[in-house]
A = this chain, B = another copy of it.
């Protein structure tokens, strides 16, 4: 495996090594499989499910996005988070 990929992977794993971020990621992933259209998860979903403030959530979301695990979209005032399938597949492939 090239070093570049190894770095991508280890960064993704690092992003998932925080329980709150793991939860955010899982919530996004779970929501998608249970809906036909991928409407994503809204910021407010995380405000409800986690016991940390908005700035912290914003920070965690950015980390997940930086690691390539999710993608963030704005619609007007609102933000939604979506899975990045490419990275999910890289992770799966690594474990295969």
- On A, residues with C-beta under 8 Å from B are 1, 6-7, 9-11, 13-14, 16-19, 22-23, 26, 88, 91-92, 94-96
Contacts and interface: CB of A to CB of B under 8 A. Distances in A.
B17 A1 contact: no
A19 to B, nearest CB: 5
B7 A26 contact: no
Interface SS of chain A: helix
Query: Copies of this chain, how many?
Result: 2
A8 B56 CA distance: 22
Contacts of A9: 16, 22
A37 B96 CA distance: 18
A82 to B, nearest CB: 16
